[in-house]
Amino acid sequence: MLDVDQILADPGVRIVVCCGAGGVGKTTTAAALALRAAERHGRRTVVLTIDPARRLAQSLGLTELDNTPRRVKGIDVEGGGELHAMMLDMKRTFDDVVLQHTDPAKAAEIFANPFYQAMSSTFAGTQEYMAMEKLGQLHARGEWDLIVVDTPPSRSALDFLDAPARLSRFLDGRMLRLLLAPARSGGRSMFSFVTASFGMFSKVVQKVLGAQLLTDLSGFVAALDSMFGGFRQRAEQTYRILQASETAFLLVATPEPDAVREAAYFAGRLGAERMPLAGLVLNRVHRPAVGLDPAASRAAADRLADLGGHDVTVDVLRAHAGLAQQAAREQQVARRFTEAFPAVPTVSVTAQPADVHDVDGLRTIGAAISHP
């Protein structure tokens, strides 16, 4: 069985990454683990959510979360722990990186570029890469005993893992080298360079992208040329951190076929990437109060109904039969993961009667994960 408290208390574990499909309670799990690490184990903890939903802020009693860690008040810090929370703002993170690694004049030029404005706000993959940047920044600051990361739904979380390699492919790509060539060969414009060197190719590119976009893209690439090596180096460094023993990946799923399939897919990927998978948290598991067989419960309810038995008793027996049948089905679904990954420890968390919306609710979830 997965011992979550052992992970949270281990001073050698500095990063916990929660990942899984959407709608499985991943954000709540991440917040509950961070809270427990702060309150029960006295660790200075920050939880970073990449999920655009506002559930984390609401459950922690904060009016909002942004790109700066905010201290969560009203928690038990007798053990010396602290809890801070933040939500990734990918554009602000990108802006901060530009400001940190260029001079003010160059930064202003980059910020004014339309291609940068689009890329920093809406381009696919930018969020995942900036999540890697932010995680690397938090880790490098050395201010936190533990960083808990709440990732997007699992396929996007795979993009989170893929960000460094994808960036490297982009930086090494032929098109990018063509775009960089003018700036490196005397500052001629992209369009004039391509026209002189490639003839018909330039007309095709201009027709597809448009002359203005081509100019914007050329200016963007030229302005960021000196930063590209730093982007790649930092991303690859963070990737190595995710492979290190100081990191623990926790898969989060519910006992539903799609969620378990996503968890299995992710477990396989983590193994292939040599990243430390600590275990599986199986949320919203149903457990009957008594061990009465569902068929027996249903048969007893039918007999009582035929005899004119008490309606409440009949309803209770039928409800129990339905719950027991659901529990059996969930166990069968969960076995698909445990049989495929027998070495991965798991912990099951009983379904809660209400959604979590405050710190007390997070404490309940944290206790359920640690002492199922």
Q: What does the pLDDT look like over 45-67, one tens digit per residue?
A: 999 987 666 667 777 877 778 88
| CA 331 vs CA 254, 298, 328: distances in Å | 11, 20, 5
CA distance 361 to 363: 5
Burial letters 154-192, b for 16+ CB under 10 A, else e: bebbbbbbbbbeebeeeeeeeebebbbbbbeeeebebbe
Q: What does the pLDDT look like over 179-222, one tens digit per residue?
A: 555 544 444 444 444 444 444 444 444 444 455 655 666 666 66
Within 10 Å of residue 289's Cβ, how many Cβ atoms? 8
Q: Is 49 helix (H, G, I), strand (E, B) or coil?
A: strand
Confidence of residue 341 (pLDDT cuts 50, 70, 90): very high
Q: Count the alpha carbons within 13 Å of 39 in the hemisphere toward its beta carbon.
A: 18
**One-letter amino acid for residue 254 of the chain:** T
Within 10 Å of residue 354's Cβ, how many Cβ atoms? 7
Nearest to 239 by CA among 146, 119, 129: 129
Average pLDDT over residues 246-259: 95
CA distance 236 to 258: 31
User: End-to-end distance of the chain based on CA atoms, in angstroms?
Assistant: 10
| CA 281 vs CA 15, 23, 277, 341: distances in Å | 17, 14, 12, 14
Q: What local confidence, expressed as pLDDT, does residue 294 receive?
A: 62
Q: What does the pLDDT look like over 91-122, one tens digit per residue?
A: 888 888 888 888 888 888 888 887 778 777 76
